[in-house]
Structure 1
Amino acid sequence: MGEGLGSCSMEELQQIEQQLEKSVSVVRARKNQVYKNQIEQLKEKPQPQAKPAAKDHQIQRENQPYAESSPSSDVVTELFIGLHRSN
């Protein structure tokens, strides 16, 4: 807890500092590993739910191969066969 360090030599203080730095490094590495594991677990939860929805969308597109891809693809055309009559 830092008590009694006044009687330590400079070399002892440097050794204590190195031990503290190593300990902090181990704690940080462990914390990062725990975070990575938690992130992976969270990523796995929504994936099984997302796959059926994507599969349903693919099946729907296969059943409607000529369906319009978006509302902006609506095209109005006028086809005249023969002579055009004006009113």
Structure 2
Amino acid sequence: MKRIENTTSRQVTFSKRRNGLLKKAYELSVLCDAEVAVIIFSQKGRVYEFSSSDLQKTVERYRKNTKEVQIDMPHTELYTEKAKQEIGNMVKKIELLEVSQRRLLGQELGSCSIEELQEIDGQLEQSLRSIRARKSGAKSSPKLTEAIRNFIPSCQTSEVETDLFIGLPYKKFHPKLPDI
């Protein structure tokens, strides 16, 4: 689509399209019970308008509505910025938790300092104490043991010694050294 170069053709097209636009605005207001206002300025400065109600009230309503939208924009941008920062913080926390989980599973320990390894050791020891306490509590509660046996009929209880070694795999990081 481009501007019509011939002045007469352009004026005829303007008149036809203007009338069509005003007719459509009227139809929209009647069919949909919408408040419609159309203002058209010709190239020569003539004003053509249609309004389904008081044009001044419609224009004031428009101005008020656009001011409210502009006032709300900084709040929306501020909210969006805060949400982006919160997402970034959550991503970092998730990454740290994933690293911590891998280390507790004995993975990626090569980059750990002695202090970090001691902290992991302490966390695992505390977990083992909790597991052993719960396990011994289940043994001392006959009702709980009976409930477990009823729930899983094929379940047989047996003593299992739980030993856990925390530290770097010796041969993996020192392949040239003799076995300990």
TM-score computed with the length of structure 1 as normaliser = 0.51
Amino acid of the structure 2 residue aligned with 1:36: T
Q: Indicate the residue corresponding to 1:41 in structure 2.
A: 81
Q: Indicate the residue corresponding to 2:63 in structure 1.
A: 23
Q: Indicate the residue corresponding to 1:76 in structure 2.
A: 135
Q: Who wins on radius of gyration, i.e. which is larger?
A: 2
The two structures, once aligned, show a CA RMSD in angstroms of 3.0
Shift of residue 29, structure 1, vs aligned partner? 2.1
How many residues align? The count is 63
- 5+ long unaligned stretches in structure 2: 1-53, 107-123, 140-157, 160-180
- 5+ long unaligned stretches in structure 1: 1-13, 81-87
Q: Give, in whole Å, the separation in 2 of the partners of 1:52 and 1:26.
A: 39
Shift of residue 56, structure 1, vs aligned partner? 1.2
Matched, 1:58 2:98: yes
Q: Give, in whole Å, the separation in 2 of the partners of 1:34 and 1:57.
A: 34
Question: Percent same amino acid at aligned positions?
Answer: 3
Amino acid of the structure 1 residue aligned with 2:105: P
Amino acid of the structure 1 residue aligned with 2:72: N
Q: Over residues 2-36 of structure 1, what are the superposed CA-to-partner deviations in whole Å (9 max), with x where a residue is unaligned?
A: xxxxxxxxxxxx22211110101111222333322
More strand by share: 2
Shift of residue 44, structure 1, vs aligned partner? 2.2
Q: Over residues 48-84 of structure 1, what are the superposed CA-to-partner deviations in whole Å (9 max), with x where a residue is unaligned?
A: 33332221110111122397xx9xx84405635xxxx
